[in-house]
A and B are shown apart, each in its own frame.
Chain A
C-alpha cells in the first residue's frame, strides 16, 4: 500500500519538478508557474501539485507530506525550498 502511495507521490513530484525545470528554461519564474496553475485552465491546477522548490546547487529541497501510513518527506537534490 505504501509503495503505491509513494509511487503516486513520486510521480507527481517528478512530474512537477520537470514542469518547473521546463518553466525555468522558458524564462518563467516560480510565481508565474504558480499563477499559471491557479489560472482558468480547467482541472489542470488540480492535477499538478505546487512543489515549492528552486534550483540551488549543493542543497536539497525537502517537502513534508502525509501518506496513509503517516508522515514522510520528499527530497530533490540540487534544489531548495522557496
Chain B
C-alpha cells in the first residue's frame, strides 16, 4: 500500500515538474528597451509591417492609406504618406500589404464595402520610399472578374509569384474562412476548413467572427499561421490541395458568441485576453495582451512575448520592461519594436529591444 502511495506521489510530482517546464519559466528572458527617436513628421496610427529598413504604418489620413518611415539605428524619420485614395489607376480604396520574394511588396486593393477583390499590385523596387511611390514601376493585376468576395482583413500572404492566401471567402461559399487566389489565371479557391466551435447558426455570422480582425502570416516557404481576431486562438497550418492541414494549435481559446440571424454575431462574453503576432522566416513572436477600459475605449496592453519556431515549439518567453499595444520584428530577427500609446501623455512611443543577446 505504501509503495502505491509513493508511486502516486511520484507521478504527481513528475506531472507538476513537466507543467512548470512547459510554461517556459526556464527560458524567461527580461529585456531592456531603448526609446526610438521619432521625427515630428511621423503620423502612422499602427504598424503594418517592417520591410528591410522601412516601417509601414496605417495612415489616419483620408487621402493616403499608408505611412512609410525609415527605421534605422534607433531613429524613425523621413515619414511619407503613400498609396493615394481614389478611383484612378494608381490609386487605392482599402488596402492590405504583404511581403513577396526578394523584398518585394504586394498591395491588395478592395472596396470600402469589403465585398470584392479589386486588384493586386506588385512593387519590386523597394529600396527607398521614393522608389516604392514610383507607380511607373508597379505591376498591377485586376481581380474584378472574380466572384463577389467578403474581404475584411488587412492581412494576406504571398504564396508564389501568381498566388496569394487571403482571409475571406466568396459569398456563395461563405462556409470557409480562407481562400487562395491565382491572380494570373483568375481563379479563386476557398480552402476546406471550418472551425469546430459547436455554435449553431448562419454561416455568414460564423465566417465573420473568424475573419473580422484576424491575421494570417507565413514563413515565406510552406507554413502559415492563422490568428483569430477574438480571444486567443491561433494555429500553424499547411495548404494541401484545397485543404488546410493544422500542424499545431498554439492557442485554443475560442470566441464566446452567438449568431444573431441577420448575418452578424453578438459576443456573449470576452475574457479580455488577446494576441498580436509578428513572424520572421525562423520564428513566431506572440505578444500576449490584456485589454483595459480607459477613456470609454478598450486599449490593449502587454509586455510578454512568447517565441515559437514554425513547428510550434515554445523556445523562450521575453519579458519587456515597457508595456505597449503592438510589436513588430525586423526581417533579420535581430530587433523587436514595441509600439505604445502612452495614455497619460497621449504620445505614441516606440521602444527597440535587441534580440541578439537573449539566447
Contacts and interface: CB of A to CB of B under 8 A. Distances in A.
Interface of A: 6, 24-25, 52, 54-60, 62-64, 66-67, 70-75, 78, 80-82
Contacts of B112: 75
A65 to B, nearest CB: 8
Contacts of B150: 64, 71, 73
Interface stretch (B135-143, B216-224, B257-265): B257-265
A80 B264 contact: no
B173 interface: no
A62 B297 contact: no
Given A64-B208, A73-B113, A81-B212, A24 B264 contact: no
30 contacts: A25-B296, A52-B264, A54-B298, A55-B296, A56-B299, A57-B299, A57-B325, A57-B341, A58-B46, A58-B325, A60-B213, A62-B114, A62-B152, A64-B150, A64-B264, A66-B263, A70-B171, A71-B115, A71-B148, A72-B113, A72-B114, A73-B114, A74-B113, A75-B114, A75-B152, A78-B297, A80-B298, A81-B267, A82-B266, A82-B267
B326 interface: yes
B264 A81 contact: yes
Interface of B: 46, 112-115, 148, 150, 152, 171, 204-205, 208, 212-213, 229, 262-267, 291, 296-300, 325-326, 341
Contacts of B152: 60, 62, 73, 75
A81 B252 CA distance: 21
Contacts of A70: 115, 148, 171
Contacts of B300: 57-58
Given A6-B113, A72-B115, 5 more contacts: A25-B296, A62-B208, A66-B263, A70-B171, A73-B114
B314 to A, nearest CB: 25
Query: How would you classify the secondary structure of chain A's contact residues: helix, strand, loop or mixed?
Result: strand
Closest 7 CB pairs of A and B: A55-B297, A72-B113, A64-B263, A73-B114, A56-B298, A24-B296, A62-B212
Contacts of A67: 113
A6 B141 CA distance: 26
Contact of B265 (A56, A66, A75, A81): A81
A59 B204 contact: no
A63 B113 contact: no
B114 A57 contact: no
A54 to B, nearest CB: 7
Nearest to B152: A62
B159 to A, nearest CB: 25
Contacts of B171: 70-71
